[in-house]
Amino acid sequence: MKFSIVIPTYKEKKNLPKLIISLTKALKNQKINYEIIFIDDESNDGSYEVYNKNKTSKTRFIIRKEKPRDLSKSVVYGFKKSKYDNLIVMDGDLQHHPLDLKSMIRQFKKNDCDILIGSRNMINYKKVNLSPLRFYVSKLLNLITNFLFGLSLKDPMSGFFIIRKNILKFSEKKLLLIGYKILLDIVICSPKTVRIKEFLINFKSRDKGFSKMRLRIIFQLILFLTYRFFFR
């Protein structure tokens, strides 16, 4: 199988070297063809220079100059730049472990599904390396989302997933492309016949750089959920 790994980034120069090395090592003996596409939201921290020192024949670094900066827009931009029919989305801050990616690819190949979600095991905040506040806010939002849209997903707002490119043909024109929850946007806009499976991942805490989570992001998410509920 062939996979395009799309990684949206913004000011992740401290994580780029380790991420490239970890992904290359994890995918080294996999019987797949792959490319890694970094879609950078025009960082001004020297990310491109750091990437150039660590790039491989399997990596590309594309700067998205359109405004406003937005993760969902960057992900879809990366989809359009991809070569292969199976798309992987993961964060650039090493909270999504490359070894989990290796396992997810195996599960995707094994299971007959259209979307495979790398879901956090939301049992307690220590299990998913979140602060108590962020854990309970995330859990509440997951419950609300499942209720509003008739879903039964452990982590509908995950940023780590694999999707077949042809699924986007059904949903692309409907996507809002606002905020951080591109997976949820895709799921809501996709036909009910889309086959979705989940795989529990080991979510790590960020050790370099800064978190993008702000109150503005939560407010943006609430607006997104409200709009999507009334205008699906």
Q: Which residues pair with 199 in a beta bridge?
A: 118
100 or 214: which carries more pLDDT confidence?
Answer: 100
CB proximity list for 168: less than 8 A, separation 6 or greater: 76, 79, 186
Tokens read off for 208:
């370099």
Return the CATH architecture of domain 2-230. Alpha-Beta Complex (3.90)
Q: CA 84, CA 67: separation in Å to the nearest integer?
A: 27
Q: H or E stretch including 188?
A: helix 182-189
Q: CA 177, CA 134: separation in Å to the nearest integer?
A: 23
Q: What is the value of pTM for the model shown?
A: 0.90
Evaluate the CA torsion angle 194, 182, 205, 40 in order and state its sign: positive
Amino acid at 140: L
Give the dihedral of Cα atoms 136, 158, 107, 121; nearest 10 deg: -10
Residues 103-151 have pLDDT tens digits of 999 999 998 899 999 998 777 666 666 778 878 888 888 999 999 999 9
Nearest to 39 by CA among 8, 77, 68, 76: 8
Residues 175-231 have pLDDT tens digits of 998 888 899 999 999 988 999 999 999 876 555 554 555 677 778 888 888 888 888
Residues 36-84 have pLDDT tens digits of 999 999 998 999 999 999 999 999 999 999 998 899 999 999 999 999 9
- The reported pLDDT for the residue numbered 116 is 97
pLDDT for 28 beyond 60: yes
- The reported pLDDT for the residue numbered 208 is 53
- The reported pLDDT for the residue numbered 124 is 67
Domains in the chain: boundaries: 2-230
Phi/psi of residue 110, nearest 5 degrees: -80, -40
